[in-house]
Amino acid sequence: MPRPDDSFELSVQRRGRALIINLSILARLADIYSSSNDAVTNAAERFLSDLREIMSDLGEVTVKMASESFFVEDMRVKATKADLDNFAALIKTLDDRGVGSLTFRSSLDAPTIIDCMYALVRGEDLAGIQAALDAASDGAMAVDAAQAARDDSDVDLRDTRLVARRAYAKAVAALVDIHRTLTAGKSLNVKRAKRAVQSLVDSIAKDEPYVLALTTRRKRDHYYFLHCINVAVMAMALGRRLGIDKYAQSRLGMAAIFHDVGLSEEKVEYLAGRSDLSPDEINMLEEHPVEGVRLLLRSRGLNEVSMLSMLIAYEHHMNLDMLGYPRPLKMWNPKVLSRIVRIVDEYDTLLSRKVFGQENFTHEHVLSIMHANARNAYDPQLFGLFLNMIGSA
């Protein structure tokens, strides 16, 4: 079984951890020794080496601290048992001064970072520390107040519908974030989306009709993201009805989120309400499965979810009669999970036309269109299961 190869996450974890440990050591040494001490200089060099490595990838780096955890690129950095003392020391240093985040905007040299550290450990309040940092680094390093970690304590876990709404909203927010990094050519951080999808899986198990009902809130605003999450939700629900376990449902959901990644947000919204496409537009549409694979290849490394994402992105417009698109050079059998997405994607896309002004695309009208296409386009067993699902919902 391929082991996870979320290279971006692993990379941030590894480098983030090293950065925090070396920052902690530097801060403690700065508290004890003078700036001319070798130990301080060496610690500064080590810290800068980590910082430069991480900045070469991410540009500006912000280290946040909340609920006794550190976050880099909004990803919680996991401490091993061996790191805990260093983490705890830095937490205390920051906590005592009301500092919640440190931002490094541009490259620093050793003397500057040392001055910044002295500004931090000798400062008594946020404003004083920031003023000292400005003087020392000319804005290259900044601090900010502590922020709370996003706290779901307002959610009564017994209120399954509130939990479902929260999970859905988090999934959309995570996808917006992912999309931003994808279009910026950066590697993908999917951890947030993963947790949200897992929560959706649980919600579907507890109250499938309600979660499916959430997909009906179609709007023009954020259409692309809502559509992707709707497809993921319906795919997971259909997968659950097929009998696949929750881990497989979660994988399917994560992969389904990326099914239209080959189309930009603008293109999707442009095409969404249109039925009369020009040849160029049709060409663009038919290219998007392959384009999706290309984008995913560059961004996601090779692991279970990324491979599944690529297959679904490639196959989700293929019909059973081998028409549809793309048209592979050799015989091709779309996978079951792709066939699931084929159906739910079509359903959500057609229903969304109403949002873009085509009022006649009611639920009944959409189903009549799908019935007419069913023989050639969809897996009959899955289509039957799907109709059962939305019929029962």
Partner 1 sequence: MGFGDTADDGGVVDIQNKVVSEEEVALVREILKALVKTIKTFTVYPKGNPIYEKFAAEMSEKFAAFFGRTDILSLEVEQNSLSYKGHTVFESEDRHSNFSLILYVDGIRQISFHEGLSEEELVSFIDILRIGPKDDNLDDDVVTLLWDKDLPHISYFVPEEVGEFEMGIEEDLEGVVVEFPSASPSATEAGGAGAKASETASASPIGPGGGGSAAETSASSGAVPGTGLGRLREESEGLRGDALLTATLSLFFELMSAEQDAERFADLARNIGRAISILAEGGDVGGIIKVLRLLRKLADASEDERSRRAIGEAGEMAGSLETMKMLFSGGSDPEMLAEYISLLGKDAVVNVIEILGQSEDRNTRKNLCDALVPFASKDVTPFINALDDARWFLVRNLVLVLGRSKNPDALRPLERSLRHRERRVRNSVIRGLEHLGSKQAVSVLAGLLSDEDRTVRMNALRAMKNADPDTLYPYLLDKVLRADFGRLEFDEKRAALEALGEIGREDALPYLKRLLTKLPIFRRTEVNETRACAAYGLGFVGGETARALLESGTKARTDLVRAACRESLKRFKKNA
- Window 362 to 381, contacts with partner 1 (CB under 8 A): 362-364, 367, 379-381
Does the protein bind partner 1 through residue 335 (CB under 8 A)?
Answer: yes
Looking at beta carbons only, is 78 or 122 nearer to partner 1?
78
Calpha distance 164→172 (Å, rounded): 12
Closest approach, Cβ 161 to partner 1, in A, equals 9
Of the candidates 345, 353, 164, 167, the residue with the CA atom closest to the CA atom of residue 261: 345
Phi/psi at 63 (nearest 5 deg)? -105, 120
Which positions from 164 through 223 interact with partner 1, judged by CB under 8 A? 165-166, 168-170, 172-173, 176, 191-192, 195, 198, 202, 207-210, 212-217, 219, 222
Which of 78, 63, 77 shows the shortest CA–CA distance to 23? 63
Site string for partner 1, 225-264 (x = CB under 8 A): --------------xxxxxxxxxx----------------
Q: Which of 10, 127, 131, 277 binds partner 1 (CB under 8 A)?
A: 10
Give the residue with the Cβ less far from partner 1, 110 or 162.
162
d(CA 321, CA 262): 23
Query: Does 384 help bind partner 1 (rule: CB under 8 A)?
Result: yes
Tokens at 49, concatenated:
């080496």
Residues in contact with partner 1, counted by CB under 8 A, come to a total of 105
Distance CA 65, CA 292 (A): 35
Pick from 105, 336, 356, 369: which binds partner 1 (CB under 8 A)?
336
Asked if the peptide bond before residue 326 counts as cis, ω within 30 degrees of 0, the response is yes
Figure out which of the listed residues 104, 224, 258, 383 binds partner 1, where binding follows CB under 8 A.
383
Q: Which of 32, 39, 88, 131 is in the footprint of partner 1 by CB under 8 A? A: 88
Comparison of 362 and 376: residue with beta carbon closer to partner 1: 362
Shortest distance (Å) from residue 116 CB to partner 1: 22
> Closest Cα to residue 309, out of 319, 320, 297?
297
Q: Helix, strand, or coil here: 151?
A: coil
What is the H or E stretch that residue 142 is in? strand 141-145
Tell me which residue has tokens 């993201």. Answer: 225
Among 231, 308, 341, 377, binds partner 1 (CB under 8 A): 308
Nearest distance, CB of residue 44 and partner 1, angstroms: 27
Q: Which residues of 63-101 are buried (b: 16+ CB within 10 A; e: fewer)?
A: bbbbeeebbbbebbbebeeebeebbebbbebbeebbbbb
Site for partner 1 in 102-161 (CB under 8 A): 147-153, 157
| Binding flag, residue 49, partner 1 (CB under 8 A) | no
CB of 366 to partner 1, least distance (A): 10
Instruction: Count other C-beta atoms under 10 Å from residue 201's C-beta.
Output: 26
First to last CA, the chain: 37
Nearer to partner 1, 67 or 373 (CB): 67
337: contact with partner 1 by CB under 8 A: yes
CB of 285 to partner 1, least distance (A): 18
What's the Rg (C-alpha) of the chain? 25
Q: Which stretch binds partner 1 (CB under 8 A): 40-48, 119-127, 270-278, 383-391?
A: 383-391
